[in-house]
Structure 1
Amino acid sequence: MIKIHLKQAASYIRRSPFQALASISVLGLTFFVATIISILVFSSNRVLNYFETRPQIIAFIKNDADDGKINTLREKLNNDTRVKNIRIVTKAEALEIYKKATADNPLLGELVSPSIFPASIEFSVINLSLAKEVIEETKKEDIVESVGFTASLEGGSTLGDVVERLKTITFYIRAAGIGFVIFLGATSFFVLLVVISMRITTRREEVEILELMGASPGFIRTPIILEAIYYAMVGVVMGWSMAVVLILYTVPTIISYFKTIPILPTNALNFMEILMIILATELAAGILIALGGSLLALGRTAKKK
């Protein structure tokens, strides 16, 4: 039975190729834009997360603190869900860091010994808004001499301002993108509605004959619904494919421009996984648009009888 319906749907498409092309083109444009906006929102969220978690908190340890107390503090931080990327820097490591920083003047490195450098624990927070709270708690630890925060370097609130701006940009990208996609989705819905309504009108005599022969409503409606689903699926795949080609073409340039900022996954499998999730979501949305448009067209036609 399904083969008969598919053949009928294919014959309807061949009879009116320009209507089919119009429907597929509008749907293709809709999902091309939807794919691009999805990647833009994903990338902006990654950039925002990068800058939110970039600053390091450095807890400088008192000279008389023993290894047991330092390990206890590390375990406490390790169990804190707000904290990540914990690293202990010993006095010897601190000296090596100093020597690298003063490599242009080796004499400075030779004049100091590890004993003058405090050991420290470096870590990041999962969200920049948690930094102040975590810093205040860390300062209260007995073995902590002082706490530094890299976001406070070179002008205190600079990084916070950057994060706030990124949040604003991300919000506007998301809001404008969703609004535009909804507009295009509504346009696709109405184009499908018009095309399917015209298709039903041109088949009125055929439908009446089938009804006189005792054909069930499902038998009459199924080819029309399948035709709409075909338009939607072809439009989704076409729009998604065009967007993916454009994205893959620009990815090397984007990654090289942003360098250390992980704006897009560098692992090809992870990136393809994201693209396939977008495709699956768009196919589901396209099928819903097709079902809604075709069923509404059929319902309007039934009321006119």
Structure 2
Amino acid sequence: MKARTLGRHFRESFKSVGRNSWMSFASASAVTVTLLLVGVFVMIMMNLNKVADDLEKDVEVKVLVELTADEKMITKLEQDIKNVKGLETIVYSTKEEELEDLIKDFGGKMGLSDQNNPLRAAFYVKASNPQETEKLAKQIDQLPNTYSVEYGEGKIDKLFSFLNLARNIGLGLILALLFTAMFLISNTIRITIVARRREIEIMKLVGATSWFIRIPFVLEGIWIGILGAILPIVIVTVLYINLYELVQPYLVGELFNLLPLTPFLFQVNALILLMGIFIGVWGSFMSVRKFLRV
């Protein structure tokens, strides 16, 4: 396509948006409402997904060492654990460190510091894939010089099942909302194009090619999508910044936190803009197609 022709299409698409201002406003408004809902829902689901990831990453296996194991045996056990497939991190805690942690947790009220240390040394292990925690724990439990392996058996399975279910439901809802948005917006854009069907028929009758007719409408869809995405981007940005400043101070040091402002807001805003453009192009492309048969 020649640059002059492409430039003409751009000019015509801008003029058409202005000439059909009310129809363009209706289409852009439909895009705005839908993208606002999608943007807010995506923002919520991405943070919930981060909470799920944080919970998964906090799952660890506690390997208690036999009381009879000497330093050489403990070193050998540590090496054996490191050789287990799927291991991400391993931290060794001596009997003394375990006692210090217990006293710290209970404030020294149990009188443990006045007794002989009854605790065992332990290894704290995390799986590279939290979903494989149970498998990793069972492999470690078979190694020599391990007294017991604790990982929340039973509870951990329920946790992972719940998190996976929440992710699947969230993804399903987002996809359903997107398909609903595409259907509603394409119908709104179709109404705009129906009002101009005479224009399309005349251009077709005088010899204009299908793509020559279609491109200005597709460009209009792009402008409508961009216009419809501006307000959702502003609202989502302001909403999340205020939410982050209000909630995040109370979550410092907690198990989970909100996603940081950057690059999260850039990602969400880029997604909203791309969805707006895609929906506008798709709606225009599909709607004008039926009027190209004269």
1:86 partner letter:
I
Tell me which amino acid in the other structure corresponds to 1:145: Y
Determine if the alignment matches structure 1 residue 177 to structure 2 residue 167. Answer: no
* Change beyond 3 A, Cα 1:292–1:202: same
Which residue in the other structure is 1:298 paired with? Answer: 288
Q: Secondary structure at the match of 2:148?
A: strand
What's the CA shift string for 1:46-76, capped at 9, x where partnerless?
Answer: 2223333433321112244344543443344
RMSD: 3.1
1:239-288 Cα offsets, whole Å, 9 max, x none, are: 2332232222222344456552335324x33xx2x333344444444333
Task: Specify the SS of the correspondent of 2:107.
Answer: coil
> Alpha carbons of 1:203 and 1:146: their partners in 2 closer, same or farther (altered >3 Å)?
closer
Q: Aligned AA for 2:143?
A: E
Q: Which amino acid aligns with 1:146?
A: S
Residues 44, 263 of structure 1: 8 Å contact kept? no
1:22 Cα shift? 0.8
Give the superposition deviation at 1:232: 1.3
Task: Write the deviation string for residues 150-200 of structure 1: whole angstroms up to 9, x where unpaired.
Answer: x36xxxx45554554444344333323321221122111221222133234
Match of 2:101 in 1: 97
Determine the C-alpha separation between the residues in 2 that align with 1:64 and 1:32: 63
Alignment of 1:52-201 (within 5 A): 52-80=56-84, 82-105=86-109, 107-113=111-117, 116-126=118-128, 129-149=131-151, 151=152, 157-158=154-155, 160-201=157-198
Q: Does 1:287 align with 2:274?
A: no
Work out the percentage of aligned pairs sharing the same amino acid. Answer: 18
Contact 2:32 2:228 in 1 (8 A): yes
Matched, 1:241 2:238: no
Letter of the 1:178 partner, please give it: L
What TM-score, normalized by structure 2, do the two folds share? Answer: 0.81
1:226-265 equivalences in 2 (<5 Å) = 226-256=219-249, 260-265=254-259
Q: Deviation at 1:21?
A: 1.0
Structure 1 residue 105, shift from structure 2 partner: 2.7
Query: What code does the residue aligned with 1:250 have?
Result: L
Amino acid at match of 1:277: Q
Q: Is the 8 A contact 1:33 1:181 kept in 2?
A: no
**Contact 1:98/1:109 (8 A) holds in 2:** no
Matched, 1:29 2:33: yes
Preserved CA contact (<8 Å) 1:232 1:287: yes
User: Structure 2 vs 1, CA of residues 132 and 221 (structure 1 numbering), >3 Å: closer, same or farther?
Assistant: closer
Contact 1:51–1:163 (CA under 8 A) maintained in structure 2:
no
Counterpart amino acid of 1:20? S
Which shifted more, 288-297 or 30-39? 288-297
Unaligned runs of 5+ in 2: none
Aligned length: 289
> 1:76-101, CA deviations, whole angstroms, 9 ceiling, x for partnerless residues?
43454533342100123123213313
Q: What SS does the aligned partner of 2:195 have?
A: helix
